[in-house]
Amino acid sequence: MVSSVFTLMCVLHSTIALTCGALMIFYSKEISVLGHGSETASKLQGTTPHDQLLIDTSDSFSGLLLFTIGFLLLMVAFVKTENFRVSLPKGV
């Protein structure tokens, strides 16, 4: 029972992290428009081409980090060692 709940929670969090990371990498401008509106999103994207490139690179790396965390969580979800599963939520 506990192991199936642990696996389910890890897979759920992994799915969310993978999806958000992929969206941050490939669709950051569209998500910014969806969340803030087109006028505010254009202001948030920077004024010079250098600023825009820096912001796009930063968004891509943040998305890549989130995607990597989601992938690691997916791997943790299928670990079969019971000692690992018990100690991970406790932080030991």
Domain boundaries, the chain: 2-90
Q: What's the maximum distance between 2 C-alpha atoms anywhere in the chain?
A: 55
pLDDT, position 52: 92
pLDDT, position 45: 87
As a whole number of angstroms, the distance between CA 27 and CA 47 comes to 19
Task: List, run by run, the mean pLDDT of 10-residue segments along the chain (92 residues).
Answer: 82 96 93 92 90 93 96 88 69 60
pLDDT, position 50: 95
pLDDT, position 23: 94
pLDDT, position 4: 83
